[in-house]
Amino acid sequence: MNFGEAVRGARTERGISLTNLAKGLGVTKVYVSDVERGRRAPFNLIRIRQVSEILGCDPFHLYVLAVRSRGHVTLPTSDISEEQSRFAAELSYRWGDFSNDELSRLIGVLE
């Protein structure tokens, strides 16, 4: 399942129209439809949180699908601490060096 399919599935399962979701997000229904059909990139994290609140679904699951679709992660770093910046830089710099076991341990710490 991709991001758009997940949004459409949650929306239709809950009986929420494309128009009502678009109004809740402050966007056009064409934009939401394009995202659902994969014609536009997945929503950003702020919109994912809004969608999740409207649809009553897990924002993290949608975010993972969005990341897969985009092929990259963007971390805002302008208003974070020096330690947060260092952590983001370490993670990015060493990304390809982690084994599956190391990734599993990191995920465990974050959960």
Average pLDDT, the chain: 94
The pTM of the full predicted model, rounded to 2 decimals, is 0.80
- pLDDT above 90 for 27: yes
pLDDT digits (tens, 9 = 90+) for 66-109: 999 998 888 888 889 999 999 989 988 998 999 999 999 999 99
CA–CA separation, 13 vs 55, rounded Å?
A: 9
pLDDT (average), residues 4-21: 97
Mean pLDDT to the nearest integer, 6-32 = 97
What Cα–Cα distance (Å) separates residue 77 from each residue in 68, 71, 83, 85?
Answer: 21, 19, 11, 6
Q: How confident is the model at residue 23 (pLDDT cuts 50, 70, 90)?
A: very high
Long-range (24+ apart) CB contacts under 8 A made by 4-8 are: 4/35, 4/36, 4/37, 4/38, 4/42, 5/36, 6/57, 6/61, 6/62, 6/65, 7/32, 7/35, 7/36, 7/43, 7/51, 7/55, 7/62, 8/36
How far does Cα 49 stand from its chain's mean position? 8
